[in-house]
Amino acid sequence: MRVLELGHVVLYVHNVERSTSFYRDVLGWNQLPISDPAGRIAVFSAPSGRTHHELLLIEVGEDAAKVPEGRRVGMYHFGLKVGDSDDELREARDAIQNAGATLLGSSDHTVTHSLYIADPDGNEIELYVDVPGVDWRDDPTLIAAPVKPLQL
């Protein structure tokens, strides 16, 4: 067996309406018209239309445990490509700030320039652009290059 690609991410969320607003209205995902009489799920695809769905949210209620802070086992973040230039990354940063979302940090990874944000439930998301002219296929060691401060 071999994995062909990452297909989708499923997140448990406290409130599906609040999270739907974030992923649809702030990040620009396309919400799919899935019928859920209980109102506990939301399904999204990226604007590229690459596959049937890439994100599924499942409401577990406000009393569910929060994502623990600090060192832990489990998902650190998932990455979303938002364009091909620093101008597009700046636009993403401005949209995040205008929406009042939490900007956690930024990094220059040599192959990508990245912003780190939190969704309403504290799940960390990397918004990134591939750096033009950097060919990690010819030099895979660039993927593990030291992280530098990002100058946007």
What's the whole-number mean pLDDT along residues 102-130? 97
Distance CA 131, CA 111 (A): 5
Confidence tier at 144 by pLDDT (50, 70, 90):
very high
Residues 43 and 14 in one domain: yes
Residues 102 and 141 in one domain: yes
Position 66 in a domain: no
For residue 4, pLDDT over 90 is answered with no
Burial class, 6, CB count within 10 angstroms (exposed 0-12 / middle 13-18 / buried 19+) = exposed
Percentage of the chain modeled with pLDDT above 90 = 86
Q: Which residues of 115-129 are buried (b: 16+ CB within 10 A; e: fewer)?
A: bbbbbbbebbbbbbb
Position 72 in a domain: no
Task: Supply the range of the domain harboring residue 8.
Answer: 1-60
Domain end, chosen from 60, 89, 110, is at: 60
Distance CA 56, CA 69 (A): 23
For residue 20, pLDDT over 90 is answered with yes
Number of domains in the chain: 2
Residues 134 and 84 in one domain: yes
Whole-prediction pTM: 0.93
